[in-house]
Structure 1
Amino acid sequence: MILKTRMLGQTYEFKDVKDVLAKASEKKSGDELAGVGAESALERIAAKEVLAQLTVADLTEHPVVPYEEDAVTRIIQDDIDETVYGTIKDRTIQEMREWILCDATDSGALMRASRGMTSEVIAGISKIMSNMDLILAGSKIRVTATCNTTIGTENVLASRLQPNHPVDDVEGVAASTLEGLSYGIGDAVIGLNPAIDTVDSTLAIWKVLGDIRDKYEIPTQTCVLSHVTTQMEALRTGQGSADLCFQSIAGSEAALSAFGINTGMLSEAEMLFREEGPAKGPNVMYFETGQGSELSSSAAFGSDQQTMECRCYGLARHYHPFLVNTVVGFMGPEYIYDTKQLTRAALEDVFCGHLHGLPMGCDVCYTNHMPTDQNDSETILTLLGTAGVHYVMGLPQADDIMLMYQSTSYHDVASIRQLLKKEPIPEFKAWLEKRGIWENGHLGPNAGDPSIFFK
């Protein structure tokens, strides 16, 4: 395993595989602040050159957090299909990139090969790809999952309806939900981030979302994004339920601990919601991630934030989720500084999620102290639509009044569907058409009029 190269009369030598991965990453403010990123553009190019010549086996055998020390590493490594791994282990990372981008390589071949790839391998491949490479490769991979409906089918761009409220007022949540539905939002999930993380509050929001779903016979899923332990306790009361169980996850056991969870807890939640939840399909988990969370909890083990993010996807696929999404700019400029870094991170995350076999979405978002605006969000959304993102967020005017950050609006989702000839999930589309909300590939005459639900 060669960890050095010479460029323009200078030798660049890297300490280990972890160092190569970090230095080969595109510029991110989080890596710079953590002291793990490349110190110059030339060092970054040198790291990419070294990484390109490493093999799948090199990255597999050198995880960024040791197997003996980390439950996430153990899940990622133990889930690998050894037969598939045996067919690719001697390929270089550059050869894997070329094979993925080859016209003859289809989604089925990519999904079979992915079963032999650890998260470090997938991260490594993404680091030697350009933005257009990531878009093209991501668009080739088709992943489906089923809860009450199926996400990921041909020409579908789904959306999460996010009816957040500053104090979880049920009437306010109901009003926001009906408005979002009137714009064709909510086929991926109607999912609320609670302001109050208690069993009683979770049950109250479960009820209002479930009542709306059932009253109007909406073919979708519901979820309240409280802590996984709160949701399990709420479900065990027998007083209410939601279709999906949510949790934010991270790429190391120590970072999971900072979230108050562990891998055993996630397994328990998946089993509980499969056995006692109302969902029809086998996929009942919903995970959120975001580059930088491990750095923020001092649990990155000297690794770069994008590799740690990729490890989130390796953990997620163990639980066969219905939805995964990166909240790509939520951490702020300390981790993703500006539009260029935000764009790169979004494209990396969606491609890497797809190659892990995940139905991958993206919250195209930013905090108000980032040098980014809504035009940038719309540009990134358009790129992600071409990259085959499974779903995005729908918020009133793209403004979350509870979490206090900017995302994508109901109108943004409608526009990108129309522009790229994408549609809602088929059953949801039929439901919209019946109510005049969707017509001939775009919003219909009743779009934006929630009063139709009272007639």
Structure 2
Amino acid sequence: MNMRMTVLGQTYQFRDLKEVMAKANEERSGDQLAGIAAADSRERMAAKLVLADMTLADIRNQPLIPPEEDEVSRVIELGLNEKIHGEIKNWSVAELREYILSHKTGSDELKRISRGLTSEMIAAAAKLMTNLDLVAGAAKIRNETHCNITIGQRGVLAGRLQPNHPNDSIQGIKAAIYEGLSYGIGDAVIGINPVIDTMDSVKDILLMTKEIMTKWEIPTQNCVLAHISTQMRAIRAGAPADMVFQSLAGTEKGNRAFGIDVELLDEANELVHKEGTSTGPNCWYFETGQGSELSSEANHGVDQVTLEARCYGLARKYKPFIVNTVVGFIGPEYLYDSKQVMRAGLEDHFMGKLHGLPMGVDICYTNHMKADQNDMDNLGVLLTSAGVNFLIGVAMADDCMLNYQSTSFHDIATLRELFGMRPAPAFERWLERQGIMENGRLTPQAGDPTIFLA
């Protein structure tokens, strides 16, 4: 296997696949912080050319984190369809990229070959793609899932209603829910990030959201984004949870920093399918985001794009209803500016979709990052073009509890109108019954939360 490449008269010799994968990334402050990034654009191009010539078998035969040392690697390896992998293992990464982008290749073909691809192979393809390639590749793939309703259909842009409150006030959360619903947001999930990670608090919020859903006959799902162990205690105490949630990392050590392992996820999976309140079969909500492994010193010298892909390799074991990358939440240490955030959002979305996952993106940034709301608007347009399953809706795009900037209820409504997208069909029919939407467009009544106070 060739590890040498000459670019413009300068020859580069790479030690191993781990170095090639890292240096083939587009510029990323997290890789620079880890000391594994390319020194300049010439070295980056040399790494991309070496990676392009590698076969998929080369990548599988050189595990970046050996399965005997890491349970995420074991999950990815055990989930591989050997028959399909055997058909494509001699493809080069460049040939995989061409197959993905070919006008002859549709969603069904991509979903089939994805079962023969490891997360590292998918990450390798993403590293050879331009931003437009990432949009075009992802736009081909439709991954539909069902919890209480179905999302992911072509032409559907769902929204997670995120009604967070700085002290978990039930009335405050309720007010934000009504505002989001009035803009047609909430078909992906009514999902609350709690301040207080206790069983009683989680149970109270789940009871309140389920009461609203029942009273107004809203076809959607509820979820409280506490630690999975807290949610499990709440479910066992009778809390009505349609889904369970957990943040994931791409390494076993990174997941231990989150307080989880595969055994705990398996236990939660069994519990939600036995005692959860949704019709299913998709009952999980996972969140990811580039840089989490480095922040917990659990990256094993692997670049953050590849580690993000490994999160998706773990997530697909559980057949989730929704997955989203919180793309700019960690900060400039890992994604320095809007250019890096936009690239990461497109990479994450593409890699998740090619894993067969129902991908959404929290288009967001922290206030100490070199980015602003116009940059997030740009990424929203790109991701809607790429067929993102859902986006996050926060009142006025400003999360008053998590203290970061995301997309607003009316941002999602605008993107739907601009691209001719619709809410999930069952949810749209409910919006029509409430007088909030008509013929796929919001009515003059939309945006008025007081309609739910009558």
| Distance (Å, rounded) in 2 between the aligned partners of 1:389 and 1:28 | 23
Structure 1: segments with no counterpart, 5+ residues: none
| Distance (Å, rounded) in 2 between the aligned partners of 1:90 and 1:153 | 33
Any idea what the Cα deviations from partners look like across 1:337-366, whole Å, max 9, x if unmatched? 001101100000000000000000000000
Match of 2:247? 248
Q: Equivalent residue of 2:308, what SS?
A: helix
Q: Equivalent residue of 1:325, what SS?
A: strand
| Distance (Å, rounded) in 1 between the aligned partners of 2:219 and 2:112 | 31
- 1:134-149 correspondence to structure 2 within 5 Å: 134-149=134-149
Q: Equivalent residue of 1:105, what SS?
A: coil
- 1:264-275 correspondence to structure 2 within 5 Å: 264-275=263-274
Whether 1:425 and 2:424 are equivalent positions in the alignment is: yes
| Distance (Å, rounded) in 1 between the aligned partners of 2:180 and 2:63 | 43
Task: Tell me the CA shift for residue 224 of structure 1.
Answer: 0.2
- 1:37-56 correspondence to structure 2 within 5 Å: 37-56=37-56
| Distance (Å, rounded) in 2 between the aligned partners of 1:92 and 1:189 | 39
| Distance (Å, rounded) in 1 between the aligned partners of 2:267 and 2:241 | 16
| Code of the aligned partner of 1:293 | S
| Code of the aligned partner of 1:2 | N
| Distance (Å, rounded) in 1 between the aligned partners of 2:15 and 2:302 | 12
Please say if residues 55 and 93 of structure 1, whose CA atoms lie closer than 8 Å, have aligned partners that are also in contact: yes
| Distance (Å, rounded) in 1 between the aligned partners of 2:290 and 2:329 | 9
Please say if residues 395 and 408 of structure 1, whose CA atoms lie closer than 8 Å, have aligned partners that are also in contact: yes
Please say if residues 168 and 194 of structure 1, whose CA atoms lie closer than 8 Å, have aligned partners that are also in contact: yes
Please say if residues 435 and 446 of structure 1, whose CA atoms lie closer than 8 Å, have aligned partners that are also in contact: no
- 1:316-355 correspondence to structure 2 within 5 Å: 316-355=315-354
Task: Tell me the CA shift for residue 121 of structure 1.
Answer: 0.1
- 1:119-268 correspondence to structure 2 within 5 Å: 119-238=119-238, 240-268=239-267
| Distance (Å, rounded) in 1 between the aligned partners of 2:370 and 2:343 | 15
Task: Tell me the CA shift for residue 154 of structure 1.
Answer: 1.9
| Code of the aligned partner of 2:325 | T
Match of 1:311? 310
Please say if residues 126 and 348 of structure 1, whose CA atoms lie closer than 8 Å, have aligned partners that are also in contact: yes
| Distance (Å, rounded) in 2 between the aligned partners of 1:181 and 1:81 | 41
| Code of the aligned partner of 1:408 | T
Please say if residues 186 and 220 of structure 2, whose CA atoms lie closer than 8 Å, have aligned partners that are also in contact: yes
| Code of the aligned partner of 2:54 | L
Q: Equivalent residue of 1:12, what SS?
A: strand
Please tell me the root mean square deviation across aligned C-alpha atoms, in Å.
0.7
Task: Tell me the CA shift for residue 450 of structure 1.
Answer: 1.3
Match of 1:75? 75
Q: Equivalent residue of 1:84, what SS?
A: helix
Please say if residues 337 and 370 of structure 1, whose CA atoms lie closer than 8 Å, have aligned partners that are also in contact: yes
Moved more, 441-450 or 371-380: 441-450
Any idea what the Cα deviations from partners look like across 1:222-266, whole Å, max 9, x if unmatched? 00000000000111112x221010000000000000000001111
Match of 2:366? 367
Please say if residues 185 and 394 of structure 1, whose CA atoms lie closer than 8 Å, have aligned partners that are also in contact: yes
**TM-score, structure 1 as length reference:** 0.99
| Distance (Å, rounded) in 2 between the aligned partners of 1:9 and 1:29 | 27
Match of 2:94? 94
Match of 2:22? 22
Q: Equivalent residue of 1:220, what SS?
A: coil
Match of 1:13? 13
| Code of the aligned partner of 1:382 | V
| Code of the aligned partner of 1:31 | D
Task: Tell me the CA shift for residue 441 of structure 1.
Answer: 2.4
**TM-score, structure 2 as length reference:** 0.99
Task: Tell me the CA shift for residue 442 of structure 1.
Answer: 2.1
| Distance (Å, rounded) in 1 between the aligned partners of 2:433 and 2:117 | 44
Q: Equivalent residue of 1:160, what SS?
A: strand
| Distance (Å, rounded) in 2 between the aligned partners of 1:373 and 1:260 | 33
Match of 2:389? 390
| Distance (Å, rounded) in 2 between the aligned partners of 1:454 and 1:373 | 35
Match of 1:287? 286
Task: Tell me the CA shift for residue 63 of structure 1.
Answer: 2.3
| Distance (Å, rounded) in 2 between the aligned partners of 1:370 and 1:448 | 30
Whether 1:416 and 2:396 are equivalent positions in the alignment is: no
Please say if residues 154 and 387 of structure 2, whose CA atoms lie closer than 8 Å, have aligned partners that are also in contact: no
| Code of the aligned partner of 1:404 | N
| Distance (Å, rounded) in 1 between the aligned partners of 2:411 and 2:441 | 12
| Distance (Å, rounded) in 2 between the aligned partners of 1:135 and 1:453 | 38
Task: Tell me the CA shift for residue 26 of structure 1.
Answer: 0.5
Please say if residues 323 and 360 of structure 1, whose CA atoms lie closer than 8 Å, have aligned partners that are also in contact: yes
Task: Tell me the CA shift for residue 291 of structure 1.
Answer: 0.1
| Distance (Å, rounded) in 1 between the aligned partners of 2:132 and 2:267 | 40
Match of 1:403? 402
Q: 4+ runs of 1 displaced by more than 4 Å?
A: none
| Code of the aligned partner of 2:22 | A
Any idea what the Cα deviations from partners look like across 1:61-97, whole Å, max 9, x if unmatched? 2222111100000000110000000000000000000
| Distance (Å, rounded) in 2 between the aligned partners of 1:108 and 1:18 | 31
Give the number of equivalent residue pairs: 454
Structure 2: segments with no counterpart, 5+ residues: none
Any idea what the Cα deviations from partners look like across 1:396-452, whole Å, max 9, x if unmatched? 100000000000001100000001110000000000011111122221121011111
Q: Equivalent residue of 1:408, what SS?
A: coil
| Distance (Å, rounded) in 2 between the aligned partners of 1:329 and 1:438 | 32
| Distance (Å, rounded) in 1 between the aligned partners of 2:177 and 2:428 | 17
| Code of the aligned partner of 1:327 | V
| Distance (Å, rounded) in 1 between the aligned partners of 2:419 and 2:277 | 34
| Distance (Å, rounded) in 1 between the aligned partners of 2:431 and 2:60 | 46
